[in-house]
Chains A and B, each alone.
Chain A
Amino acid sequence: MAEILIPKIAAQQTAAAAAPPAGVPFIEIEDVSLYYGASKALKNISVQLGEKLVTAFIGPSGCGKSTLLRCLNRMNDLIDNVRIDGAIKIGGHNIYTPDVDVIELRKRVGMVFQKSNPFPKSIYENVAYGLRLHGVKSKSDLDATVEQSLRQSALWDEVKDRLHSSALGLSGGQQQRLCIARAIAIKPEIILMDEPASALDPIATSRIEDLILDLKKDFTIVIVTHNMQQAARISDQTAFFYIGELVEFGPTSKIFTNPSQKRTEDYVTGRFG
């Protein structure tokens, strides 16, 4: 597996040379622990994610990577019995202080889920949903933003003639790109992606990956993935988690070619996980 990865990593490294992979720290996770009742699902995690970079969270199932991702837009608030210690700062502000408006936070931190979940509404209404929520009423504003978001998510040409037909008629890959369009329509700063391509075929997956590389220009992206090649192809930084711990964090090229931890090496080379 390592052999397969190396050529792609090389390409990645040249791209990374232009922008320093560390970037400007934008999301600062400081000593975060998360408990489901009595069990500790995340153990004292500290990591800084750079602005306008793609950070991949990898690790075997149950390692806490999705849980940490959901801490970043406070989706874990919805679960009973969850307690979070530590601080997560976005742009320098701790999002876990009592004065934080969760609605405002989620406007700034968008999310794309593993299973594409378009609303049973028209394609247009799906993208307009967040805009309408946040008070955009003018038809021309809505039209413009819907078109721009669909273009940005590389879906416009496929759906421009049927904007008002049901989103459920789209293919799986199109639905997932629609969910990305829906997330970027409200102009977040960060997009969280929870295994966005795990239910898609290879062609749809590669379109999503191209899209992520393209979106990096405008957004800070954090992606959870089980697909090692995917992490290697699209991410600038990679964090490897194992049973609630952050084992290793660094530039993707280093994690995949020269990890400092034995466990990371075993995982990325496919020896376990």
Chain B
Amino acid sequence: MSTSQTRHFRAEKFDFWSFFFSGLTGLATLFIVGILVVILLNILVNGWSGLSWHFVSTIPKKDFFDVHTTGVLPMIVGTAFRVIVMTIFVIPVGVITAIYLTEYASNTSLITRVIRAAVNNLAGVPSIVFGLFGLGFFINFVGKNMDRLLHNPSAVWGQPALIWASLTLAVMTLPVVIVATEESLKAIPPGLREASLALGATKLETILRIVLPQALPGIMTGGILAVSRAAGEVAPILFTGVAYYMASLPSHLSDQFMDLGYHVFVLSTQSPNIEQTRPILYATVLVLLMLTFALNIVAILIRARVRKKLRALG
């Protein structure tokens, strides 16, 4: 009682500012959390009723705006497929680049600085630009030339396809993986590397046996961030692989695919009757959220197992 009185007595003005700023920061936090809660609740409440086994397991007819017959199975498959293919490409390339930068390249050399600047700038490029890059490089250059070399009578690779969409996303998420891997490599004590080298290990043996196992949880964090970013992206796949409608599921890397994020865009802009389509729209958004969560949770569980194993160290 007496202390609070003294404090109050001594610094009324100071107290006001401290109250003001703690209130301000608190409000800002509340604002962010509030927005998230409103979005999630809105989606959950409005989307829940549209969610059914039929909805997630049906390949819809061309007219997918009909509430009773529509489904999102091809979009779920397409989105999951492209995220997984992306992960398969981005993790090795990102990890190898990070290993080169931290373990091999000299920090002061021009090449290293150029690569680092490129990586940082890559992270700042708008995603639609990646889409255009994918169209120009992967489809028109790589794909068309593959068709020519393989003597395909019609375009197989030189057109939008799942592989090109995945690769475009991989290029986009590369900086995330590189930076996360670099951080985890740098966090490994130099003493461990020295100990290994002093026992007659080569640099490569040291990296493979000591450095990488230790860095694995950090690398997986990079993978999780990349998956989270890529799952909801639409712009990079617009020109590179996504289809408005496909009658069947994608079965080949050269197939086009339907996508949850893009489908949300289609439902909200192409519908003949907005009011009638709204429940499908909400349910589709909910499915996209749940798929992203599911992919994340799988990755987080694997990482937790790796961490546990590293700690127990068998």
Residues of A with Cβ closer than 8 Å to B?
73, 75, 78, 80, 103-104, 106-107, 110-111, 113, 115, 117-122, 125, 129-130, 133-134, 164-168, 179, 182-183, 186
B195 touches A117 (CB 8 A): yes
Enumerate chain A residues within 8 angstroms of B201, measured Cβ to Cβ. Answer: 103, 130, 133
Enumerate chain B residues within 8 angstroms of A164, measured Cβ to Cβ. Answer: 314
Enumerate chain A residues within 8 angstroms of B314, measured Cβ to Cβ. Answer: 122, 164
A110 touches B192 (CB 8 A): no
A183→B194 CA distance, assembly (Å): 12
Interchain CB contact (< 8 A) of A117 among B106, B189, B200, B311 = B189
The tally of residues in B whose CB lies under 8 Å from a CB in A reads 22
A68 to chain B, nearest CB (A): 16
A120→B310 CA distance, assembly (Å): 8
**11 other A-B residue contacts (CB within 8 Å) besides A75-B198, A179-B195:** A75-B197, A111-B198, A113-B195, A117-B189, A118-B195, A125-B313, A133-B200, A133-B201, A134-B200, A182-B195, A183-B199
What are the 10 A-B residue pairs with the smallest beta carbon separation, nearest first? Answer: A117-B191, A130-B199, A111-B198, A106-B200, A166-B313, A107-B200, A117-B195, A103-B200, A133-B201, A121-B313
A129 to chain B, nearest CB (A): 6
- Interface of B: prevailing SS: helix
Enumerate chain A residues within 8 angstroms of B313, measured Cβ to Cβ. Answer: 120-122, 125, 165-168
Query: Does B214 interact with chain A (Cβ within 8 Å)?
Result: yes
Enumerate chain B residues within 8 angstroms of A168, measured Cβ to Cβ. Answer: 313
A245→B198 CA distance, assembly (Å): 26
Interchain CB contact (< 8 A) of B194 among A113, A122, A167, A182 = A113
Enumerate chain A residues within 8 angstroms of B312, measured Cβ to Cβ. Answer: 166
A179→B201 CA distance, assembly (Å): 15
Query: Does B246 interact with chain A (Cβ within 8 Å)?
Result: no
Identify 18 residue pairs between A and B in the complex whose beta-carbon atoms are under 8 Å apart, listed by A's number. A73-B198, A75-B194, A75-B197, A78-B194, A78-B197, A80-B106, A103-B202, A106-B198, A113-B191, A113-B194, A113-B198, A115-B191, A120-B310, A120-B313, A129-B199, A134-B200, A166-B311, A166-B312
Enumerate chain A residues within 8 angstroms of B194, measured Cβ to Cβ. Answer: 75, 78, 113, 117
A80→B209 CA distance, assembly (Å): 24
B219 to chain A, nearest CB (A): 16
A78→B106 CA distance, assembly (Å): 12
A133 touches B191 (CB 8 A): no
A167→B314 CA distance, assembly (Å): 10
**Interface digits, B172-204 against A, CB 8 Å rule (1 contact, 0 not)?**
000000000000000001011011111111100
A133/B205 contact (C-beta < 8 A), A120-B214, A121-B313, A122-B313 known: yes
B68 to chain A, nearest CB (A): 58
Enumerate chain A residues within 8 angstroms of B189, measured Cβ to Cβ. Answer: 117
Question: Which has the most chain A C-beta neighbours within 10 Å: B200, B201, B312?
Answer: B200
A49→B311 CA distance, assembly (Å): 42
A77 to chain B, nearest CB (A): 9
**Interface digits, B282-314 against A, CB 8 Å rule (1 contact, 0 not)?**
000000000000000000000000000011111
Interchain CB contact (< 8 A) of B210 among A104, A111, A119 = A119
**Interface digits, B31-67 against A, CB 8 Å rule (1 contact, 0 not)?**
0000000000000000000000000000000000000
A221→B207 CA distance, assembly (Å): 29
B213 to chain A, nearest CB (A): 8
A119/B197 contact (C-beta < 8 A), A103-B202, A164-B314 known: no
A119→B200 CA distance, assembly (Å): 15
Chain A residue nearest in CB terms to B106: A80
Enumerate chain A residues within 8 angstroms of B311, measured Cβ to Cβ. Answer: 166
Enumerate chain B residues within 8 angstroms of A125, measured Cβ to Cβ. Answer: 313
B196 touches A129 (CB 8 A): yes
B195 to chain A, nearest CB (A): 5
A121→B192 CA distance, assembly (Å): 11
A117→B197 CA distance, assembly (Å): 12
